[in-house]
Structure 1
Amino acid sequence: MGVKGKLIASVEVKCGGHLVHDIFHTKTHHISNICPSKIQNFEIHEGDSVKVGSVVSWKYNDDGKDKISKQMIEAIDHETKTITWKLIGGDLLELYNSFTIITSCDHEWTTWTFLYEKKTEDIPEPLVLLGFVLHVTKDIEGHLLK
């Protein structure tokens, strides 16, 4: 059994957290246009939109390396503006036995929570990825403020 971890980071978004949530929930396919240097592609494999049970994938560039993340949408709560994404494939699962990403938005804040289990103790904490998603959030904020 690996070492379990939890990372949480919040970033202020002047456009309002609800607008960031709307991008991730209903306009997810626009994210690759908003920040093309970070996100190259978003695709829905199962389902016709981002809804519970949908399987999606992202092609992204993290720390100068092209990567893939395949996820299942586990939960969406419209009241708390929360989406839970469970990894089911891709590069992160080479390092982690399990990895769940929770995005939530409240007023002028967007919060990212990572729940994960490292395969071994020497696997680094996913701090670079956390910084990456915070930068994507700020790119989305900049787009929405235009």
Structure 2
Amino acid sequence: MGVKGKLIGSVEVKCGGHLVHDIFHTNTHQIPNICRGKIKHFEIHEGGTIKAGSVVSWKYNDDGKDKIAKQVIEAVDPQKKSITWKVVGGDLLELYNSFTTIISCDHQWATWTFVYEKKTEETPEPLVLLGFALDLIKDIEGHHLLKK
């Protein structure tokens, strides 16, 4: 059995957490245009929209390398403005036995939570990926602030 871990990172959002949640929940297809260079492609394979049970994939550039993540949406909570995504395929599963991401937003904060199980003790903590995820929030915030 691998080593379990949990990382949480939050960033203040001046545009409002509800707008960030909206992008991830109902306008996810816009993320590659908003986060150019980071997110190359987003696709919904099953489910048609972002809802529990939907299967999605991302092509992204992490630390100069093109990567893929295939995920199942485990939960969408409109009240808490959170979405839980479980990785079921792609590059992350080369290092981790399991990897779940949760994005939650409130009025002023967007928070990423990573819950994972490393394959070995030597597997690094996903700190670079957490920085990448927080940068996505900043890109989305910048997009909304430019529209104002």
User: Any idea what SS the aligned residue of 1:114 has?
Assistant: strand
Q: 2:29 aligned with 1:35, yes or no?
A: no
The equivalent of 2:12 in structure 1 is 12
- Superimposed CA distance per residue, residues 36-57 of structure 1 (whole angstroms, 9 cap, x where no aligned partner): 1100000000111111100000
Please, which runs of 5 or more residues in structure 2 have no aligned partner?
Answer: none
CA distance in 1, matches of 2:30, 2:3: 35
The equivalent of 1:68 in structure 2 is 68
User: Any idea what SS the aligned residue of 1:49 has?
Assistant: coil
Using structure 2 for the length normalisation, give the TM-score: 0.98
**Counterpart amino acid of 1:33?**
N
The equivalent of 1:105 in structure 2 is 105
Cα distance, 1:8 vs. partner?
0.2
**Counterpart amino acid of 2:134?**
L
Please, which runs of 5 or more residues in structure 1 have no aligned partner?
Answer: none
Percent identical across equivalent pairs? 77
- Superimposed CA distance per residue, residues 88-145 of structure 1 (whole angstroms, 9 cap, x where no aligned partner): 0000000000000000001110000000000000000000000000001000000011
Matches within 5 A, 1:61-100: 61-100=61-100
CA distance in 1, matches of 2:136, 2:77: 21
Cα distance, 1:35 vs. partner?
1.1
User: Any idea what SS the aligned residue of 1:50 has?
Assistant: coil
CA distance in 2, matches of 1:25, 1:69: 17
CA distance in 2, matches of 1:64, 1:14: 28
The equivalent of 2:26 in structure 1 is 26
Cα distance, 1:15 vs. partner?
0.2
**Counterpart amino acid of 1:62?**
D
Moved over 6 A (4+): none
User: Any idea what SS the aligned residue of 2:52 has?
Assistant: coil
Aligned pair count?
Answer: 146
CA distance in 1, matches of 2:116, 2:44: 23
Using structure 1 for the length normalisation, give the TM-score: 0.99
